[in-house]
Amino acid sequence: MSPLEILTFPDEFLKKPARPVEQIDGELQRLIDQMADTMYQAPGVGLAAVQVYKNKQLLVYDIQSRDEGRELHVLINPEIIAREGRIISENEGCLSVPDLRADVQRAARILVAGVDREGKPLRIEAEGFLAVVLQHEIDHLNGTLFIDHISALKRQLYTRRINKQLKQQES
pLDDT mean values, one per 10 residues, the chain (171 residues)? 90 96 96 96 95 98 83 97 94 94 95 97 96 98 95 90 86 72
What pLDDT score does 168 carry?
84
Q: What is the pLDDT of residue 58?
A: 98
pLDDT at 17: 97
pLDDT at 11: 94
Catalytic residues: 137
Backbone angles phi, psi at 85, to 5 degrees: 70, 175
pTM for the model: 0.93
- Name the nearest CA neighbour of 11 among 64, 69, 56, 52: 52
Q: Which of 71, 3, 11 is nearest to 43 (CA)?
A: 3
- The CATH class for the domain spanning 12-170 reads alpha beta
pLDDT of res. 34: 97
